[in-house]
Structure 1
Amino acid sequence: MPLVAGAVVQHEGDVLLIRRTISEGSLVWQFPAGKVDVGETPLEAAAREALEEAGVVVEPLAVIGERVHPVTERRVVYVACRWLSGAAGVASPREVSAAEWVTVDEMQARIPGGVYGPVWEYLAGPALPS
């Protein structure tokens, strides 16, 4: 099973979400994410995916947690990332149809089944300085 890295990016209290061009079952909105390439760490992959999918440059900070995603059944490593630059936008129209900064409450409403516990705890904690 390939490993996927998800970028959990906060900026000014909001969270970056992308909408896939082709949804994965009930999962339409999600964190920028993609397969970890050979020779790449999950932190590097999360930063690459944030840039490739949403045009946002981030600094990967730490792994928040890892699980087999209940919708996609992929092994996902969630990576806390600090926003450095870039406005959220569609950087890869083939893969992504929208990229938006949303409040934590809106994020919770857009992700079916709720947000993974350790990610929720991380986002509910003190905000990172921008």
Structure 2
Amino acid sequence: MIEATLCFPLREWTPDERTGDDRERTDEVLLIEKRRGLGEGWYNGPGGKLENGETPRECAVRETREEVGLAVRNLEKAGELTFTLDGDRHTFCHVYRTRSFDGEPTPSDEARPEWVPIDEVPYDRMWEDDRLWLPAVLEGDTVAGEFRFEGGEPLDEADFADHDLERDVSFEDRS
């Protein structure tokens, strides 16, 4: 089983009156378009697999830095997601969010970053399960869920079959 992380940096975007931008103030989330590996071509948050001896928080910080050049801190645990494939546990994912970071996101070989207004998240270009749990995370809630896929490897080509999802979960005693 793979243990992994996702990190969702958030910011408040304020229009610049000097440039004549008349959009309203809004919250944005940093998403990446995956350029390779599992989920290539799809959008998600920065993240990846834990390395030996690494905590989930350390992994989220490292992966976000490696994938988009952002130095995140003050991560808040927002979710724990289990993904099964044909009845076997495939991936356990720790989900974090933060409003604390330094730097500007930059593309890498692995990811193309993009700030997206929360009400415009491209769920049609994401994993099918994301539309079930990610809105809660972006609203400030916590989630725990199991998402079942069928159809064999690779996971990103399997069919989404079913899920269980719980909101308002406490992660105080967890990593």
TM-score greater than 0.5 by the shorter chain: yes
The 2-side partners of 1:83 and 1:103 are apart by: 17
| Residue 115 (structure 1) aligns with | 131
What residue ranges of structure 2 are gaps of 5+ in the alignment? Answer: 13-26, 142-175
User: Aligned match of 2:65 in 51, 55, 58?
Assistant: 51
User: Aligned match of 2:113 in 88, 99, 102?
Assistant: 99
Equivalence map 1:68-87=2 (5 Å): 68-69=82-83, 73-87=90-104
1:55 maps to a residue whose letter is G
Shift in Å, 1:36: 1.0
Q: Secondary structure at 2:121's aligned position in 1?
A: helix
Superposed CA RMSD in Å reads 2.5
Shift in Å, 1:60: 3.9
Q: Secondary structure at 1:51's aligned position in 2?
A: helix
The one of the two structures with greater contact order (alpha-carbon pairs below 8 A, sep at least 6) is: 1
Write out the 4+ residue segments of structure 1 that deviate beyond 4 Å after TM superposition: none
Q: Secondary structure at 1:19's aligned position in 2?
A: strand
Shift in Å, 1:101: 0.7
Query: Is 1:63 aligned to 2:47, yes or no?
Result: no
Q: 1:115 to 1:41 in 2, by over 3 A?
A: farther
Answer whether contact 1:56 1:83 (CA < 8 A) is retained: no
Shift in Å, 1:108: 4.6
Shift in Å, 1:11: 1.3
| Residue 8 (structure 1) aligns with | 8
Query: Is 1:32 aligned to 2:60, yes or no?
Result: no
Q: 1:27 to 1:78 in 2, by over 3 A?
A: farther
The 1-side partners of 2:66 and 2:6 are apart by: 12
CA deviation vs aligned residue, 1:88-128 (integer Å, no higher than 9, x gap): 221x31x22x11110112225342424352x42231249xx
Answer whether contact 2:34 2:40 (CA < 8 A) is retained: no
Percent identity of the aligned residues? 31
| Residue 162 (structure 2) aligns with | none
2:73 maps to a residue whose letter is E
Q: 1:23 to 1:47 in 2, by over 3 A?
A: same
CA deviation vs aligned residue, 1:38-83 (integer Å, no higher than 9, x gap): 1111111111111110111111422211112479x52211012233
